[in-house]
């Protein structure tokens, strides 16, 4: 109750604070001053005044003696008076006047106060208003609706919500975003002079990162991977940590990190303890050091400890041999850059330093994906010309792989604050839904259903609405407490109190969960064995900082429990270090880490799930139940298990936010992990709710403005592309006809995964013009990515008509529908390396003549290119065509070499390896699917609007630029499987295959920023890891019986 009351209190404080600002700005009195109020309704496009903020603002102004003149196009005075009376607010009606026009309200006023965001308010002639007002004339923009720079130019003193002010009393106005970085598609604004920036004089080809931790290591590894022309050196005084980075046992675990480090280390990525040498060699320096919460002194427990940041400043100043750009990568309080600048300025000597803020927005467990495809990159810098030039340097580095529209630039203080606020808002969502989970448990509601219902609201969204034991990790709590301290320091106690409630609610959730365990086990756990599954604060990481497991395990041990923990990535010493950091005393005889979940569970009274590791969902709980004391309990702190099945086994199950019936069992709705029973099987013949299906409208919801139709999403590339597009916030709808070229069940498994990720695949053929037209009209697609096609080279000799029907007729049908749409969508389509046919020149370049196809498949793909060119010329549709070179990877096509060879090796069947004339080896430019997806997304972002004036037509190769023999592919598959192949070499049959494919990707590199990063060995290792996971017990019946056509 206290948590939610703070929401109301904060709203009241905001209104009172805004009103107070008006009065204080007008020389601490508004007595008998005319104040023009624009808008009284609670929002635009309505006349509703219930609980409108204007009520409080106008009442406070009148209480101070103001003459308030209101203009609202939809509100009458009697409406306002009724609301004042409802709230028992006494109003002197002689001081409240409703005027018939804004001009009438403004005439002779001391200030304009904007309280409703009516669009017409943006169009008013404020220069004329200014001339009729008392001077100085003020504008208080309570909706941040107006052009503040223009108002200041006119002469107004402008105050707006959340806008800081300079020493001259004017608002901080940022430069236009276009001033930061080189514009998209243009040559560099400033050419380097002897490898140096022409304005700043710094070297551009070397980066130093100080701090080899969770932020510096992954961030700079990605930079090295994406920018092979830049040497990146990560330095740290901790020699053991640097040694670990230089070994195969990296000091941190993050999926995908090892592969990138291994690829770049020793080439353009280096780890060293030579801090001075790295600083002197590089002119671009990242500061990625720890900023822990202070544990003593002023601000202890809340303020950030900035001694390591200060040390970076002093070290850089001491070691520098020239000008440097210093980039704050650590999470720091607002105005840390100012403090760092003071340290550097006091010690800099003849050199110049430019300080930038570049906060990280990484989630542990997905950090590499977040870095590879970030939602945004934020760069803050000084707004001077030099500062903008320095920020542009960093913009250009990230633009090697991040679309420029996702690189945001702002001033230093906004950037520093944005990181704290981002984590605070995410944590706030977690605490909010956790608070509701407690209410659900009391009332019998299900928090998962509540989350689903509110998450379906596009204003809210579904992310960070999963109830749990609470948030953890190094950032959320630290950053919120830092924010609380800053608010207190700046004289904002009400704001500090609001954010403190987020942390307090999180602590309450952990304590409540722990208390439930003890009370359920008959009010004591003394000497009872408790099995704890998971100690890390989240899955896919070994990080235990601020993990909720700390509080839960400590409370259990305080009550006398014997706590046995199993976590696949956490060691006991990691947990003990965190206990000691928090001054929690632990009797180590009561705290045991086991090597397996089975050992932890054996003889236990209860299982407690504290981390959402995927493997925990797969355990044989019926076997665990047999090993445990009875009654046996499960406390699911992450709501990841099948609660109905556990209760059927015999467990007493407790879960976060799940109410309980009179029989003591959970009120369990149809589990998403179980098929819904037939209606006749529902208890007592009562209604069993059908599983919810994703709708096309849900699938098309977008946070980026892009709504994309992807054809062929049940296919290999379409599946991966749709997931990546959805992950970055695009609306994505898929279609597929699930043809029988290879097992349709396998295609449907892809669609099922997509639906779990929020992408719906409709079963639809490209030739169904009626349904396609309806989809286009209903969802207003901004882009179409055409990947659906009859695949395969050899199969064309058996069923040529299927290629004509799908690849030509289907493609033309799709374009006919697109050309009728208003507006017409932009189109990216898949061509193929097969179009190069019998070309002798290698590597293949887009400028090569491609009029010698070697297969019908190749001919249809070349036809697609010609058809696209025609539709561009005649109708103004805009196209980018992509010639894919031999794609492979997880969920790949089973008729392609990697998958086909893996199947045959596992079944002990011979591999048919084709050879050219004289026994020559066939060579292929095998390209990993993630690289293909990255290139395709770049094309989506580049393709121009479909109009007669702007339409483009471009073709790009997407390959790996490193062809290898098929025998080498077999070597890689053998190594990854750990099993030898039976090789059978034979002449290549005359079915349309070619001897060699090799991609010249120069054009894609230059214009799309395309740069493949995955070697064949690494890619095959990833593919085989997926293969073993997908088929843990061998191939299923459908796939084992599959014979490529």
Helix axes 412-443, 493-520, angle to 10 degrees: 40
Task: Outline where 227-377 has alpha helix (H).
Answer: 239-245, 257-264, 275-281, 307-319, 336-347, 367-372
φ and ψ of 982, to 5 deg: -95, 115
Closest CA to 520 of 622, 624, 635: 635
Supply angle C-alpha 199, 202, 208, rounded to 5.
Answer: 145
DSSP state of 792: -
Neighbour tally for 744: CB within 10 Å = 15
C-alpha torsion 444→449→451→457, nearest 10? -130
Closest CA to 337 of 346, 352, 323, 327: 327
Question: Which residue is catalytic, options 33, 203, 231, 419?
Answer: 419
List the helix and strand counts (H, then E) for the chain: 36, 33
DSSP state of 162: T
Closest CA to 658 of 674, 634, 679, 676: 634
Task: Encode 407-445 in three state secondary structure.
Answer: EEEEEHHHHHHHHHHHHHHHHHHHHHHHHHHHHHHHHCC
DSSP state of 31: T
- Do 705 and 728 meet the contact criterion of CB atoms below 8 Å apart? no
Closest CA to 283 of 247, 317, 326, 249: 326
Task: At 248, list the tokens.
Answer: 């195969």
Which residues, in sequence order, are CB contacts of 534 under 8 Å at separation 6+? 549, 566, 567, 609, 610, 611, 612, 613, 616, 638
Question: Which residue is catalytic, options 360, 441, 865, 974?
Answer: 360
E strand or H helix at 487, and its extent? helix 476-489
Active site residue 360: yes
DSSP state of 379: E
Rg (CA), the chain: 32
Instruction: For residue 27, count CB atoms less than 10 angstroms from its CB and return exposed for 0-12, middle for 13-18, buried for 19 or more.
Output: exposed
Q: How many CA atoms lie within 13 A of 416 on its CB side?
A: 23
- Do 206 and 284 meet the contact criterion of CB atoms below 8 Å apart? yes
Task: At 689, list the tokens.
Answer: 């709710």
Q: How many CA atoms lie within 13 A of 521 on its CB side?
A: 27
DSSP state of 328: E
Residue written as token pair 């030509």: 808
- Do 289 and 210 meet the contact criterion of CB atoms below 8 Å apart? yes
Q: Is the dihedral of CA 207, 209, 215, 217 positive or negative?
A: positive
Distance between CA 231 and CA 213 in Å, rounded?
A: 19
Please state whether the peptide bond connecting residue 631 to the residue before it is cis, i.e. omega within 30 degrees of 0.
yes
Render the burial of 689-723: b for 16+ CB within 10 Å, e for the rest.
eeeeeeeeebbbbbeeebbbbbbbbbbbbbbbbbb
C-alpha torsion 553→555→561→563, nearest 10? 0
Distance between CA 655 and CA 223 in Å, rounded?
A: 42
Distance between CA 759 and CA 694 in Å, rounded?
A: 8
Active site residue 475: yes
The distance in angstroms from the start CA to the end CA of the chain is 65
Return the beta strands (E) in 39-186 as ranges: 67-71, 96-98, 111-114, 138-141, 157-160
Question: Which residue is catalytic, options 220, 264, 440, 475?
Answer: 475
Task: At 318, list the tokens.
Answer: 């001491």
- Give the active site residues: 360, 419, 475
């Amino acid at each position: 109750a206290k948590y939610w009351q703070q929401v109301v209190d904060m709203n009241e404080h905001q209104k009172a604070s805004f009103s107070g600002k008006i009065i204080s700005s007008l020389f601490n009195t508004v007595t008998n001053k005319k104040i023009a109020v624009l808008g009284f309704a609670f929002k635009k496009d309505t006349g509703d005044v219930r609980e409108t903020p204007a009520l409080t603002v106008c009442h406070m102004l009148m209480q101070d003696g103001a003459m308030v003149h209101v203009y609202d196009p939809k509100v009458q005075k009697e409406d306002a008076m009724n609301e004042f009376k409802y709230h028992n607010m006494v109003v002197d009606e002689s001081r409240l006047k409703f005027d018939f026009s804004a001009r009438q309200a403004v005439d002779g006023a001391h200030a304009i106060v904007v309280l409703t965001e009516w669009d017409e308010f943006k169009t008013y002639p404020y220069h004329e208003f200014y001339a009729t007002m008392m001077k100085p004339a003020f504008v208080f923009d309570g909706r941040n609706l107006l052009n503040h720079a223009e108002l200041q130019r006119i002469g107004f003193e402008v105050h707006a919500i959340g806008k800081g002010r300079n020493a001259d009393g004017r608002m901080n106005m940022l430069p236009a975003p276009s001033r930061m970085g080189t514009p998209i598609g243009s040559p560099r604004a400033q050419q380097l002079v002897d490898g140096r920036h022409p304005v700043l004089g710094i070297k551009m080809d070397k980066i130093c990162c100080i701090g080899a931790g969770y932020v510096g290591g992954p961030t700079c590894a990605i930079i090295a991977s994406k920018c092979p022309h830049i040497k990146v050196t990560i330095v740290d005084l901790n020699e053991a940590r640097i040694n670990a980075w230089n070994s195969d046992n990296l000091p941190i675990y993050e999926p995908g990190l090892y592969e990138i480090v291994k690829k770049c280390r020793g080439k353009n990525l280096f780890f060293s303890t030579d801090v001075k040498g790295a600083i002197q060699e590089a002119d671009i320096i990242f500061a990625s050091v720890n900023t822990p919460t202070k544990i003593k002194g002023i601000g202890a427990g809340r303020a950030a400890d900035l001694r390591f940041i200060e040390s970076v400043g002093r070290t850089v100043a001491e070691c520098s041999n020239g000008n440097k750009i210093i980039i704050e990568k650590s999470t720091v309080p607002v105005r840390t850059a100012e403090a760092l600048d003071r340290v550097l300025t006091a010690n800099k000597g003849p050199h110049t330093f430019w300080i930038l803020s570049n906060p990280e927005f990484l989630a542990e467990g997905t950090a590499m994906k977040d870095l590879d495809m970030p939602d945004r990159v934020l760069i803050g810098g000084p707004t001077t010309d030099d500062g903008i030039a320095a920020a542009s340097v960093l913009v250009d580095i990230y633009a090697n792989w991040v679309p420029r529209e996702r690189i945001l630039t702002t001033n230093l203080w906004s950037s520093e604050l944005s990181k704290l606020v981002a984590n605070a808002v995410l944590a706030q969502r977690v605490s909010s839904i956790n608070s509701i989970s407690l209410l659900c448990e009391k009332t019998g509601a299900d928090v998962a259903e509540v989350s689903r219902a509110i998450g379906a609201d596009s204003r809210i969204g579904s992310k960070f609405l999963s109830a749990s034991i609470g948030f953890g990790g190094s950032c959320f709590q630290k950053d919120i407490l830092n924010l609380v301290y800053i608010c207190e320091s700046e004289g904002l106690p009400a704001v500090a109190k609001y954010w403190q409630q987020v942390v307090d609610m999180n602590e309450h959730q952990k304590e409540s969960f722990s208390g439930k365990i003890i009370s359920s086990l008959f009010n004591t756990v003394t000497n009872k064995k408790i099995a704890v599954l998971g100690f890390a604060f989240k899955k896919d990481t070994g990080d235990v900082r601020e993990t909720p497991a700390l509080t839960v395990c400590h409370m259990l041990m305080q009550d006398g429990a014997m706590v046995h923990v199993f976590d696949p990535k956490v060691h006991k010493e990691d947990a003990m270090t965190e206990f000691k950091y928090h001054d929690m005393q632990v009797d180590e005889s009561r705290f045991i880490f086991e090597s397996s979940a089975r050992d932890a569970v054996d003889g236990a009274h209860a299982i407690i799930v504290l981390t959402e590791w995927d493997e925990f969902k797969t355990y044989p709980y019926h076997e665990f139940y047999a090993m445990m004391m009875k009654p046996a309990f499960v406390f699911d702190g992450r709501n990841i298990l099948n609660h109905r099945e556990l209760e059927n086994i015999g467990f007493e199950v407790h879960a976060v936010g799940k109410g309980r019936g009179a029989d003591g069992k959970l009120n369990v709705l149809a589990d998403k992990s179980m098929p819904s029973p037939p209606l006749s099987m529902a208890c007592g013949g009562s209604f069993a709710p059908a599983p919810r299906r994703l709708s096309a409208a849900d699938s098309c919801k977008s946070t980026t403005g892009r709504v994309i139709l992807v054809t062929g999403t049940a296919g290999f590339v379409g599946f991966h592309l749709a997931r990546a597009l959805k992950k970055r916030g695009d609306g994505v709808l898929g279609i597929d006809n699930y043809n029988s070229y290879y097992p349709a069940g396998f295609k449907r498994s892809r669609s099922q995964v997509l639906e779990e990720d929020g992408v719906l695949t409709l079963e639809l053929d490209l030739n169904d013009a009626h349904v396609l037209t309806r989809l286009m009209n209903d969802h207003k697609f901004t882009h179409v990515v055409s990947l659906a096609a009859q695949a395969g080279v050899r199969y064309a000799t058996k069923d040529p008509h299927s290629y004509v029907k799908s690849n030509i007729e289907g493609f033309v049908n799709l374009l006919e529908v697109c050309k009728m749409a208003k507006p017409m969508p932009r189109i990216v389509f898949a061509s193929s390396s097969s179009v190069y046919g019998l070309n002798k020149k290698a590597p293949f370049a887009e400028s090569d003549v491609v009029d010698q196809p070697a297969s019908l498949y190749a001919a249809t793909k070349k036809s697609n290119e010609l058809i696209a060119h025609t539709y561009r010329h005649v109708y103004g549709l805009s196209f980018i065509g992509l010639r894919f070179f031999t794609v492979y990877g997880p969920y790949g096509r089973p008729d392609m070499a990697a998958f086909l060879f893996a199947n045959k090796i596992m079944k002990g069947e011979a591999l048919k390896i084709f050879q050219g004339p004289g026994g020559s080896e066939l060579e292929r430019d095998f390209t990993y699917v993630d690289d293909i997806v990255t290139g395709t997304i770049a094309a989506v972002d580049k393709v121009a609007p479909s109009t007669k004036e702007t339409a483009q037509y471009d073709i790009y190769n997407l390959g790996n630029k490193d062809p290898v023999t098929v025998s080498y592919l077999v070597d890689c598959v053998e190594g990854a499987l750990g099993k030898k192949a039976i090789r059978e070499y034979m002449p290549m049959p005359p079915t349309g295959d070619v001897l060699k494919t090799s991609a010249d990707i120069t054009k894609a590199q230059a214009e799309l920023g395309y740069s493949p990063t995955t070697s064949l060995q690494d890619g095959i290792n990833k593919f085989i890891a997926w293969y073993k996971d997908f088929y843990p017990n061998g191939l299923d019946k459908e796939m084992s019986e599959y014979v490529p056509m």
